[in-house]
Amino acid sequence: MQRCPCCNARIRDSALCSRCRADLSAIIETEKAAGFWLFKAIQYRKESHIEKCIDALCFSLRLKKTTLAINLCDFLIQQSSQDVLGLLEKKQIIPAKQQLYTMRRLYPFSEQLQQLNGFADYLLVNSQKSSLSDWAENHLNPILQFLKNKQYPNAD
54-94 tens-digit pLDDT: 999 999 999 999 999 999 998 998 888 888 888 888 888 88
Whether 94 and 75 have beta carbons less than 8 Å apart is answered as: no
pLDDT-flagged residues of the chain (< 70): 128-156
Specify the pLDDT at position 39. Answer: 98
**Cα gap 110→101, rounded to integer Å:** 12
Specify the pLDDT at position 52. Answer: 93
* Whole-number Cα distances in Å, 132 to 50, 92, 140, 151: 35, 18, 11, 29
**Model confidence, pTM:** 0.67
Specify the pLDDT at position 148. Answer: 62
**Cα gap 55→40, rounded to integer Å:** 10
**Cα gap 59→62, rounded to integer Å:** 5
Specify the pLDDT at position 141. Answer: 63
Specify the pLDDT at position 153. Answer: 55
For the CA atoms of 71, 77, 81, 84, what is the dihedral angle to 10 degrees?
Answer: 140
Specify the pLDDT at position 129. Answer: 66
